[in-house]
Amino acid sequence: MKELLKRLTEAYGPSGREGPVRRLIQEEIEPYVDSMEVDALGNLIARKGSGDKRVMLAAHMDQIGLVVTEADKKGFLRVHNVGYLRRPYALGCLVRFENGLRGVVAREVERDDPADMSLGKLFVDIGASSREEALERVPIGDMAVLEPQWAELGNGCVAAGALDDRAGCAMLIQTLKELGPCPCQVVAAFTTQEEVGLRGAKAAGYQVDPALCLALDVTLTGDTPKAERLPIGLGKGIAIKVMDSSVICAPQLVAQLEQTAQQAGIAWQREVLTHGGTDAGAVHVSRAGVPSGALSIPCRYTHSACEVVSLADIQAGVDLLTAWLSQGQR
State the residues that interact with Co ion by CB under 5 A: 164
Running DSSP on this structure, what letter comes out for residue 147? P
- Residue with nearest beta carbon to Co ion: 164
Segment interacting with Zn ion, rule: CB under 5 A, options 7-15, 92-100, 156-164, 251-259: 156-164
Q: Is 28 in the site for Zn ion (CB under 5 A)?
A: no
Q: Does 18 bind Zn ion (CB under 5 A)?
A: no
Q: Which helix (H) or strand (E) holds 314?
A: helix 311-327
CB 16 within 8 A of CB 160: no
* CB of residue 298 to Zn ion, shortest distance in Å: 13
| C-alpha angle 218-223-228 in degrees, rounded to nearest 5 | 85
Question: Does residue 279 interact with Zn ion by CB under 5 A?
Answer: no
Q: Map residue 275 onto helix, strand or coil.
A: coil
What's the Rg (C-alpha) of the chain?
Answer: 20
Question: Binds 217, which of Co ion, Zn ion, none (CB < 5 to 8 A, cut-off by type)?
Answer: Zn ion
Single-letter code of the amino acid located at 145: V
Longest CA–CA separation in the chain, Å: 65
Pair 97, 142: CB distance under 8 Å: yes
* Closest CB 218 distance from Zn ion, rounded Å: 5
Q: Is residue 18 annotated as part of the catalytic site, yes or no? A: no
Cα distances from 216 to residues 5, 122, 240, 320, in angstroms, run 15, 32, 10, 12
For position 271 contacting Zn ion by CB under 5 A, the verdict is: no
Cα separation, 126 vs 123, whole angstroms: 10
Q: Which of 10, 28, 217, 271 binds Zn ion (CB under 5 A)?
A: 217
Q: Choose, from 194, 195, 271, 307, the residue flagged as catalytic.
A: 194
Report in angstroms how near the CB of residue 234 gets to Co ion at its nearest.
Answer: 17
Q: Is residue 62 close enough to count as binding Zn ion by CB under 5 A?
A: no
CB 143 within 8 A of CB 293: no
Q: Which is nearer to Co ion, 28 or 164 (CB)?
A: 164
Stretch that binds Zn ion, among 10-18, 19-27, 210-218, 253-261 (CB under 5 A): 210-218
Binding to Zn ion by CB under 5 A, coded x per residue (else -) over 116-155, reads ----------------------------------------
d(CA 296, CA 317): 8
Residue 164 makes contact with Zn ion by CB under 5 A: yes
Nearer to Zn ion, 142 or 194 (CB): 194
Contact partners, residue 79, CB within 8 Å, separation at least 6: 66, 67, 68, 69, 119, 122, 123, 124, 144
CB of 270 to Co ion, least distance (A): 20
| Residue at shortest CB range from Zn ion | 165
**Which residues of this chain interact with Zn ion, rule CB under 5 A?**
164-165, 217
> Residues with catalytic annotation?
194
